[in-house]
């Protein structure tokens, strides 16, 4: 396009008659190929000067003020013990570089260290059938489709409009009238087509920024899918060991009932022989009924845990499942690595980082919406009596126009949209900081809790031994007439309560260990482990 052909069309803008009180007015300057000089030169210069001034003022952006990463002081090591907190230097920042991250990597594939084939089978079913994971996969596929939709604005848009019509023409009406019987009609058919072309040149890369934002959103959705997969495997593992615990608690409740029933039978026999009082009989029968009630409650808890697992597996929550349960002992420590690894390992933290970067790209695009835009529009059209002859003639209509548009006044809408996008980026940054701090908190609490649980488990195992010895002694002394039944009752309760607490603590250790690896973002099985155990790797293209 030659410079001499660039003209401002008539009545594009009139600064003298502009109504500044109108809030719904959107005024722009258009630069067209086929224009004509219809305004005085001095007015044109005023418009150009004003447009230039507004363009320069629009170039200033606050996006550069946003930080690139979450500004958080990270310690050099985790703080699993409470007494280490006092020695933490809060102003000491650990640089998040590749060297520090690679020093002590978190070991993956710890699920196999539990040696639980049944758990691996349930995990496999859940990864294939769980509806929440399938929904997350569908959202991921939608995010990739959105990248294509957003990126299409970078390419010329072509649209074909076709039409066909048929009309009848009367010969009599055409000749100005005719005698009766001489009327005749002529059928006229017309077929037309128009090819419309529209393309906006991405001179400021605002369209590219929006496509970049969509791509970052898709990557973030991919990380959220990984987080959903990780969470699902953790929840299946937790549900499985909750079920195992409830099954063992049910067995223990049955043993407890049997023990109290045997004691009650012994007391009744001694009562009939006149060796025991009626009070002992009442107390023993009362305890038997309590244990019957506790056994019913344990059965319900077991069935409830079983149905919870079935739901996670994507199966109907019935109460049928063959069980050979066990709670494995944890005799290995967790290689926790460095705190900075969370920023590269945890999927939800990476997703939050990508979402923040996407909002920055959107803010840049919103800022560049205030810059001039160059748009080309064109069309080729013709009408013929047959479809094959369309566009064959030199008489077809061809038109192409290039326009340069500079926003001047939009009642603050563009500025508000830019600030809104900037504020969205600030919100995303705050979410990133919160997600990162929450991740650190989860790991620190899980590590501290593991230490506490280990101490509790050691103590409760010793309590079981002592309670068993106390019950044996109480029974001997009761048979000898030295102790009353209340002592036996208390000893029985102490033993079975300690056994129940020991089961709960073993489960708590397993639950917390799962929570540690979930908090660390470590996978529950590497790809090699999946292939060795015939566990399929989840795929977003898998259909149910």
What domains can you pick out in the chain, each with its CATH number? 112-152+205-309+339-371+422-532 (1.20.1600.10)
Task: Evaluate if residue 164 carries a pLDDT over 80.
Answer: no
Which phi and psi (to 5°) does residue 260 adopt?
A: -70, -35
More confident residue, 255 or 160: 255
User: Is pTM beyond 0.75 here?
Assistant: no
Question: Which run of H or of E encompasses 135?
Answer: helix 131-151
Q: pLDDT tens-digit profile of 280-290?
A: 889 889 999 99
More confident residue, 155 or 7: 155
Residue 346 has what pLDDT? 84
CB-side exposure of 322: number of CA atoms within 13 Å? 2
CA atoms of 134 and 111, how far apart (whole Å): 22
Residue 388 has what pLDDT? 53
Residue 269 has what pLDDT? 85
Burial class (CB in 10 A: 0-12, 13-18, 19+), 414: middle
Q: pLDDT tens-digit profile of 105-139?
A: 455 566 777 778 888 889 889 999 999 999 999 99
CA atoms of 497 and 259, how far apart (whole Å): 13
Sequential DSSP letters for 481-519: TSS-HHHHHHHHHHHHHHHHHHHHHHHHHHHHHHHHHHH
Task: Evaluate if residue 275 carries a pLDDT over 50.
Answer: yes
Lowest mean per-residue pLDDT among 11-25, 30-44, 49-63, 296-310? 11-25
Tokens in use for 150?
């957003």
Mean of pLDDT values over 180-187: 63
Q: pLDDT tens-digit profile of 438-477?
A: 888 888 898 889 889 999 999 999 999 999 999 999 988 8
Mean of pLDDT values over 385-393: 52
Q: pLDDT tens-digit profile of 288-338?
A: 999 999 999 999 999 999 999 999 999 888 888 777 778 888 777 776 666
Tokens in use for 240?
């499985």
CA atoms of 126 and 308, how far apart (whole Å): 12
Tokens in use for 501?
């607490």
Sequential DSSP letters for 405-467: EEEEESTTHHHHHHHHHHHHHHHHHHHHHHHHHHHHHHHHHHHHHHHHHHHHHHHHHHHHHHH
CA atoms of 275 and 514, how far apart (whole Å): 54
CA atoms of 205 and 126, how far apart (whole Å): 44
Short-list 6, 4, 53, CA closest to 31: 6
Residue 439 has what pLDDT? 87
Task: Evaluate if residue 82 carries a pLDDT over 60.
Answer: no
pLDDT band at 412 (very low <50, low <70, confident <90, very high): confident
* H runs (alpha helix) in 273-396: 278-312, 342-345, 347-368
Q: Let me know the angle formed at the C-alpha of 509 by 508 and 513, rounded to the nearest 5 degrees.
A: 115
Mean of pLDDT values over 156-174: 73
Residue 203 has what pLDDT? 86
Lowest mean per-residue pLDDT among 41-55, 79-93, 257-271, 323-337? 79-93
Short-list 197, 139, 187, 91, CA closest to 385: 187
Question: Which run of H or of E encompasses 127?
Answer: helix 117-129
Short-list 434, 447, 432, CA closest to 520: 447
Lowest mean per-residue pLDDT among 159-168, 215-224, 244-253? 159-168
Residue 141 has what pLDDT? 93
Which phi and psi (to 5°) does residue 459 adopt?
A: -70, -40
Short-list 293, 236, 230, 227, CA closest to 260: 293
- Order of all β-strands in the sheet with 157-170: 27-29, 397-409, 373-384, 185-201, 157-170
CB-side exposure of 230: number of CA atoms within 13 Å? 24
Q: pLDDT tens-digit profile of 491-530?
A: 999 999 999 999 999 999 999 988 888 888 875 554 555 5
More confident residue, 270 or 338: 270
CA atoms of 432 and 442, how far apart (whole Å): 15
Short-list 29, 88, 20, CA closest to 55: 29
More confident residue, 331 or 234: 234
Task: Map residue 389 onto helix, strand or coil.
Answer: helix
Mean pLDDT over the full length of the chain:
75
CA atoms of 123 and 312, how far apart (whole Å): 9
């Amino acid at each position: 396009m030659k410079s001499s052909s660039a003209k401002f069309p008539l009545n594009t803008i009139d600064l003298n008659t502009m109504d500044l009180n109108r809030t719904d007015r959107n005024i722009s300057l258009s630069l067209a190929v086929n224009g004509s000089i219809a305004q005085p030169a001095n007015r044109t210069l005023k418009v150009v000067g004003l447009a230039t001034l507004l363009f320069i003022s629009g170039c200033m952006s606050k996006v550069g003020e946003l930080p690139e990463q979450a500004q958080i002081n990270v310690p050099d090591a985790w703080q699993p013990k409470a007494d280490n907190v006092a020695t933490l230097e809060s102003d000491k920042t650990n640089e998040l570089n590749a060297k520090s991250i690679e020093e002590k990597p978190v070991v993956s594939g710890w699920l196999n260290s539990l040696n639980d084939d049944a758990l691996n089978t349930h995990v496999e079913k859940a990864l294939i059938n769980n509806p929440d994971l399938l929904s997350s996969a569908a959202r991921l596929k939608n995010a990739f489709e959105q990248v294509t939709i957003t990126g299409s604005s970078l390419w010329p848009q072509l649209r074909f409009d076709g039409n066909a019509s048929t009309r009848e023409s009367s010969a009599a009406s055409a000749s100005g009238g005719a005698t009766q019987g001489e009327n005749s009609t002529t059928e006229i058919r017309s077929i037309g087509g128009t090819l419309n072309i529209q393309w906006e040149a991405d001179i400021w890369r605002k369209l590219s920024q929006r496509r970049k934002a969509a791509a970052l959103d898709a990557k973030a959705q991919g990380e959220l899918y990984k987080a959903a997969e990780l969470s699902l495997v953790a929840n299946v593992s937790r549900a499985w060991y909750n079920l195992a615990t409830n099954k063992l608690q049910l067995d223990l409740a049955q043993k407890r009932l049997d023990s109290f029933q045997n004691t009650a039978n012994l007391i009744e026999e001694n009562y009939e022989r006149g060796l025991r009082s009626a009070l002992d009989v009442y107390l023993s029968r009362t305890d038997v009924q309590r244990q019957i009630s506790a056994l019913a409650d344990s059965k319900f808890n077991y069935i409830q845990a079983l149905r919870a697992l079935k739901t996670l597996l994507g199966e109907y929550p019935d109460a049928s499942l063959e069980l050979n349960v066990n709670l494995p002992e944890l005799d290995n420590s967790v290689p926790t690595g460095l705190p900075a690894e969370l920023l590269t390992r945890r999927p939800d933290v990476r997703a939050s980082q990508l979402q923040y970067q996407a909002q920055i790209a959107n803010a840049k695009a919103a800022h560049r919406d205030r810059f001039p835009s160059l748009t080309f529009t064109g069309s080729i059209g013709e009408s013929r009596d047959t479809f094959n002859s369309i566009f064959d003639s030199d008489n077809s209509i061809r038109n192409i126009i290039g326009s340069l548009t500079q926003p001047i006044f939009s009642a603050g809408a563009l500025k508000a949209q830019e600030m809104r996008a900037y504020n969205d980026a600030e919100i995303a940054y705050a979410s990133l900081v919160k997600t990162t701090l929450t991740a650190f908190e989860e790991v620190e609490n899980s590590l501290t809790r593991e230490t506490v649980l280990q101490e509790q488990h050691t103590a409760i195992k010793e309590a079981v031994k002592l309670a068993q010895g106390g019950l044996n002694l109480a029974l001997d002394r009761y048979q000898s007439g030295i102790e009353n039944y209340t002592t036996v009752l208390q000893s029985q309760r102490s033993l079975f309560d300690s056994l129940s607490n020991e089961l709960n603590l073993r489960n708590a250790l397993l639950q917390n260990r799962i929570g540690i690896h979930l908090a660390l973002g470590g996978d529950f099985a590497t790809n090699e482990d999946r292939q060795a155990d015939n566990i399929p790797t989840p795929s977003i293209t898998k259909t149910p």
